[in-house]
Amino acid sequence: MSAQFYADAMARNQIMWVAEMFGEPVGFLRAKPVDDLLYCAEVSVLRQHQSKQIGKKLLNNFAEFAKSNGFAGISGITFENVPWNAPYYARLGFGALPAADLGEELRQIMASDTEQSLAKAGKRVVFGTRF
Ligand SMILES: CC(C)(COP(=O)(O)OP(=O)(O)OC[C@H]1O[C@@H](n2cnc3c(N)ncnc32)[C@H](O)[C@@H]1OP(=O)(O)O)[C@@H](O)C(=O)NCCC(=O)NCCS
């Protein structure tokens, strides 16, 4: 994604956390409200800095922010069988959200062209938690 994409996202009140190491950005998480949950639209850590628990800190900060700012919980969409996707989120305490817990906006994201094309690479599932 381009710098303009992220500038536009922040102008639309999306929320970004950026992890820095020695003043350099090494990872980020982008979130936005979807239904009554705070939705993780993207989380990524530079390959050379992965497995240092930076992702864990980003996800825990995101969940803490959601909890202290009145959201009913958190959500995100990910690959079920990629080891650092759904199984990793589940180890952090964010397992699969039951279908009955999915709001209309989240269902629309699941049905979007972007999600349909990602689903060709593997099963997509909704992770998260309700507080
Ligand atoms: C997902 C991601 C943000 C995690 O960031 P991170 O800083 O590496 O996260 P952590 O250090 O907290 O933990 C990494 C976990 O992934 C696991 N992992 C990493 N690479 C792995 C691999 N090749 N096989 C199995 N597990 C792997 C680690 O074991 C660790 O889990 P554990 O701490 O429970 O054992 C990072 O891997 C990433 O940017 N991946 C590419 C983009 C992506 O998939 N984003 C998520 C889209 S939903």
Give CA–CA dist 50/118, Å, rounded: 23
In the chain the domains, ranked by start, together with CATH numbers, are 3-130 (3.40.630.30)
Phi, psi of 102 (to 5 degrees): -85, 130
- The share of the chain scoring above pLDDT 70, in percent, equals 100
Q: To test ligand 1's pocket by mutation, which of 53, 75, 88 has the most ligand atoms within 8 angstroms of CB?
A: 88
State whether the beta carbon of 88 lies less than 6 angstroms from ligand 1. Answer: yes
**Alpha-carbon distances, residue 109 vs 37, 103, 106 (angstroms):** 13, 10, 5
45 C-beta closer than 6 A to ligand 1: yes
pTM, full prediction: 0.94
From residue 23, how far is each of 18, 19, 31, 55, 109 by CA, in Å?
11, 9, 22, 17, 35
The chain-wide mean pLDDT, for the chain, equals 96
At residue 108 the predicted structure's pLDDT band, cuts being 50, 70 and 90, is very high
Q: Can you tell me the distance from the alpha carbon of 65 to that of 27, in angstroms, rounded to the nearest whole number?
A: 18
Quick check: CB of 84 below 6 Å from ligand 1? yes
